[in-house]
Structure 1
Amino acid sequence: MPVLVVVGAQWGDEGKGKLVHYLSRSAHAVVRYQGGNNAGHTVVHRGETLALHLLPSGILLPGKVGVLAHGVVISPRGLLEEIRFVKKKKISVRGRLRISLGAHVVMPYHMRLDALRETTERPLGTTRRGIGPCYIDKVARRGIQMADFIDPPAFRKKLDFALESNAAELRRLGKPAQLKKEALRGYRRMAEELRPYCVDTVEYLHQGLSSGKRILFEGAQGVMLDLDVGTYPFVTSSSPVAGGACVGAGLAPRQLDRVLGVAKAYTTRVGAGPFPTEMPAGMAGALREKAGEYGATTGRPRRIGWLDLVQLRRAVKVGGLESLALTKLDVLSGIHPLKICVAYRFRGKPVAHFPVSQSMQFAVEPVYELLPGFSGNIRGLREFGKLPPQAKSYVRRVERLLNLPISFISTGPGAGELILRGPKVW
């Protein structure tokens, strides 16, 4: 099976980076197909915790190729900083990084607009990295692609066109600035540095598939942050679901062989938006500190909730999930009892499916099933049979209620702290 897609099954931050890092061992290339450096994929590599924002997690492994496909929006400065960051860790991407000529470029004015809208209009809890404004320009047909960025005459022409509307928007928000000067600062150096990596990634990927090479697709964010099927408007600006890999990388749906979802054994989300199973502040704070639940990109504290199977059933449907990786099971040790949300209530009536209505998403009340908690340190366990009976019961109950096999169980942040069970994904 040459194509595997790994997607977040909740609101992001599920631990996709660790799973992708592990699965990359069996892949030729690892592909990011959407989002930008608003993602924060945390990986323990050679005993050190590293957070990647644009580079695919598999790039850390020798010989693996990292691909940033045309669905990704790229901050040139951010990407070059990340390349230098991994180089300091004695990891060179030379000859192993492919950037799509069709990927759109996040410009300094995009970041200005993102920050201003968060402070002057309705805040959505964005990372302020300019991702949304960049996608807006893409849809408005005034975006700058990497093919333009590395071609100075084309870049200046496209920049002048893009600046007209963006400058007007900044004036409307009361913050005019010298946008062209900002956009050109360091431009030539960045264009020269990135030019060798830029290729037609559609052709590159199809050539790899034709020769039977395994390709791993790494989704950013999570299904519930999808622009179309997530908790709109509290969503990202792209499509993290498996189908997004087709549009964002140029593959046909029939070429996707398997889809693996990643979910925490509880639930988190960053920023504003509905969160039916959110825990009370005291309990959430204790679990946050225990698990280090702070954003890898922004450092913001994550909101914490119980595992929500209504939400996960929705993710299984729209994400095309065929199996699940359950992460951070070790964090639940010592909590008695454990709660799993199995349904919602709305105005006293049962609700079996995740609602589309925003007002209903905020108003539903979770219906919990209580399970006995477990105690003891399970961190680092690699055999399912060695888990406490209550921990095994928790995993099996989630499997049964979702009607989905759990192929991986993470028992800690380390690369080897993983239990393999169920059907193989490769």
Structure 2
Amino acid sequence: MPALVLLGAQWGDEGKGKATDLLGGSVDYVVRYQGGNNAGHTVVVGDQKYALHLLPSGILSPGCTPVIGNGVVVDPSVLLSELSGLNERGVDTSKLLLSGNAHIITPYNVTVDKVTERFLGKRKIGTTGRGIGPTYADKINRVGIRVQDLYDESILTQKVEAALDVKNQVLTKLYNRRAIAVDQVVEELLGYADKLAPYVSDTVLVLNQALEEDKVVLFEGGQGTLLDIDHGTYPFVTSSNPTAGGACTGSGVGPTKISRVIGILKAYTTRVGAGPFPTELFDEDGEALRRIGGERGVTTGRDRRCGWFDAVIARYATRVNGLTDFFLTKLDVLTGWEQIPVCVAYEIDGKRVEELPYSQTDFHHAKPVYEMLPGWNEDISKAKSFGDLPKNAQAYVKALEEMSGAPISAIGVGPGRDETIEINSFL
């Protein structure tokens, strides 16, 4: 049975939660493999809407085991709050597994994140201020706190002391902030130990054993391809690897066990935060996409920047992730336009470029080259098959598929769990 990776093929916010939830009833495990509570998923089940920030979307599927892998950074207070909120709504969260090797977002990581962004001023990255980047930096600098450290007070204290030796110097001398007390941090972190204990597990062993037993495992990425620390629009990126390779390092499952890589692709393009965005719209069309699509960040609450579909980015995502399929979301949002522009290439210094430039300078100066496709006015939210779609909507999907380099196997025609056209099964 397959191990599948499901990830964002643009700048995130493509509708991964809906796609994961759609598959959740057919898979045994859903694994978050990177990021933290800077990523949000909205899942609509019946008349209920769930906003998930740290938990895998599979938490809403009975019979599915949700897993937070070693590649995720975890804010314990956020995790416990999210679990409590779901429990109050009658959702069973008892199956959750949390990797003992996942890194903890400490109070000082959040402080450093916020003061650094303010210090950068106009040069800020546009982080969520939730301590994600500083926690990953601590991980790489080998001064990070892991979940397992909560169960050894001596080791935890030593690690917090080592981290604050440097951070307090920076906070007090550079940012003119108060020093953070070691004892206070240790006490707060130890307070989470008993509450998290029922979930902590050797998730690497669990997942590999599950695959050996022919269980179906779905790896769920946060953010999107263009926010990848290595392959995104650096430095306007996240601090981890949302691309397919991150599923292996963030879970401990080898690449030979992954059989399918599904890219979630919005029928237009959005991004949150700073950074280049060639097809961004600043006119009535951009505002209409934002309003009709409900384009506001689940986690940040910020309005998303909106633009037309960018086939150059889609081709890039296909290449760096080895995508086998696309799940096209929010096609219904485009209903009502007489013509729909699609970016098929860029113009850079007077030259036509059909692949994403590796140079940050070139990408900043890229101007979209558009091809106009005919639109449609019919309501598509009740469509159950590809043939139910208006001819122009069918042509739009086929054009995007050809431009993007991988088959579109499912289409979202509304926000609901059942408002999806499945062309080819992912399983």
Interval containing the TM-score (normalised by the shorter chain): over 0.9
The equivalent position to 2:265 in structure 1, one of 247, 263, 284, is 263
Contact 1:12 1:222 in 2 (8 A): yes
Contact 1:342 1:368 in 2 (8 A): yes
Amino acid corresponding to residue 99 of structure 1 in structure 2: L
- Distance in 2, matches of 1:179 and 1:130, equals 18
Q: Is the CA contact 1:109–1:179 (under 8 Å) kept in the aligned structure 2?
A: no
Q: Distance in 2 between matches of 1:22 and 1:75?
A: 27
Counterpart-to-counterpart distance in 2, 1:394 and 1:210: 41
Letter paired with 1:22? L
Residues 43, 347 of structure 1: alpha-carbon distance in 2 compared, 3 angstrom cutoff: same
* Alignment match, 2:171: 170
SS at match of 1:196: coil
> Which secondary structure state, in structure 1, belongs to the residue aligned with residue 414 of structure 2?
coil
Deviations along 1:46-102, one digit per CA (max 9) or x if unpaired, are 4211111111000111121111111000000110001101101111212x1111111
Instruction: String of CA shifts for 1:280-337, please: whole Å, max 9, x gaps.
Output: 2432122211111000001000000100001110000001111101000000011121
Q: What is the Cα deviation at residue 340 of structure 1? A: 0.7
TM-score, normalised by the number of residues in structure 1: 0.97
| Kept after mapping to 2: 8 A contact 1:380/1:416 | no
Quote how far apart the aligned CAs of 1:269 are: 0.2
Instruction: Supply the RMSD in Å over aligned alpha carbons.
Output: 1.2
Task: Please tell me the residue identity of whatever aligns with 2:91.
Answer: I
Write the deviation string for residues 362-406 of structure 1: whole angstroms up to 9, x where unpaired: 101111110111102212322211111111110011112223210
1:102 counterpart residue number = 101
Q: Secondary structure at the match of 1:153?
A: helix
Matching residue of 1:83: 83
- What residue in structure 1 maps to residue 365 of structure 2? 363
For the 8 Å contact 1:374–1:390, the answer to whether it is kept is: yes
Give, as a single letter, the amino acid of the residue that structure 2 aligns with 1:153. Answer: S
> What is residue 37 of structure 1 aligned with on the other side?
37
Asked if the contact 1:108/1:182 (under 8 Å) is kept, the reply is no
- Cα distance in 2 between the residues matched to 1:334 and 1:408: 22
Question: What per-residue deviation string (whole Å, max 9, x for no partner) do you get for residues 173-207 of structure 1?
Answer: 22224343552454333111001211111111111
- CA distance 1:199–1:419, change in 2 (3 Å): same
- Report SS of the residue matched to 1:233: coil
Distance 2:317 2:205 in 1: 31
Whole-angstrom distance in 1 between the partners of 2:265 and 2:184: 40
Q: Deviations over 1:141-199 (max 9, x none)?
A: 00000110232222122111111122222222222243435524543331110012111
Q: CA deviation at 1:341?
A: 0.6
Correspondence for 2:125: 124
Separation of aligned partners in 2, 1:355 and 1:403:
18
Change (3 A) 1:181 1:289: farther
Q: Return the alpha-carbon distance in structure 2 between the equivalents of residues 32 and 177 of structure 1.
A: 34
Deviation readout 1:119-161 (Å, 9 max, x if unpaired): 1112111111100000000000000001102322221221111
> CA 1:46/1:185 → structure 2, altered by over 3 Å: closer, same or farther?
farther
Partner of 1:349: 351
Shift of 1:2: 2.3
Change in 2 beyond 3 A, CA 1:151/1:382:
farther
Does the 8 Å contact 2:113/2:131 carry over to 1? yes
The AA in structure 1 aligned to 2:83 is I
Q: Is the 8 A contact 1:125 1:272 kept in 2?
A: yes
The 1-side partners of 2:226 and 2:384 are apart by 30
Structure 2 SS opposite 1:236? coil
CA contact (8 A) 2:25 2:62 kept: no
Q: Which secondary structure does the structure 2 equivalent of 1:249 belong to? A: coil
What pairs up with 1:179-258 in 2 under 5 angstroms?
A: 179-180=181-182, 182-184=184-186, 186-258=188-260
Counterpart selection for 2:314 from 305, 312, 315: 312
* Residue 267 of structure 1: how far off its partner (Å): 0.1
Greater shift after overlay, 118-127 or 309-318?
118-127
Residue type of the alignment partner of 2:18? K
Which whole-Å CA distance do the structure 1 matches of 2:275 and 2:221 have between them?
21
Between the aligned partners of 2:116 and 2:283, the Cα distance in structure 1 is: 28
Aligned mate of 1:290, from 270, 289, 292:
292
**Match for 2:353: what amino acid?**
V
Amino acid at match of 2:290: R
Kindly provide the amino acid, as one letter, of the partner of residue 142 in structure 2.
R
Counterpart for residue 25 of structure 1: 25
For 1:150 and 1:17, how far apart are their aligned partners in 2? 32
- Gap runs ≥5 in structure 2: none
| CA–CA separation in structure 1 for the residues paired with 2:181 and 2:338 | 55
Partners of 1:112 and 1:301 lie apart in 2 by 24
Structure 1 runs (4+) greater than 4 angstroms displaced: none
Amino acid at match of 2:75: S
User: Which amino acid in 2 is paired with 1:136?
Assistant: A
Percent identity of equivalent pairs:
48
Who is 1:133 aligned against? 134
Equivalent AA in structure 2 for residue 28 of structure 1: D
Alpha-carbon separation, structure 2, partners of 1:380 and 1:113: 48
CA contact (8 A) 2:31 2:219 kept: yes
Q: How many residues are paired up?
A: 424
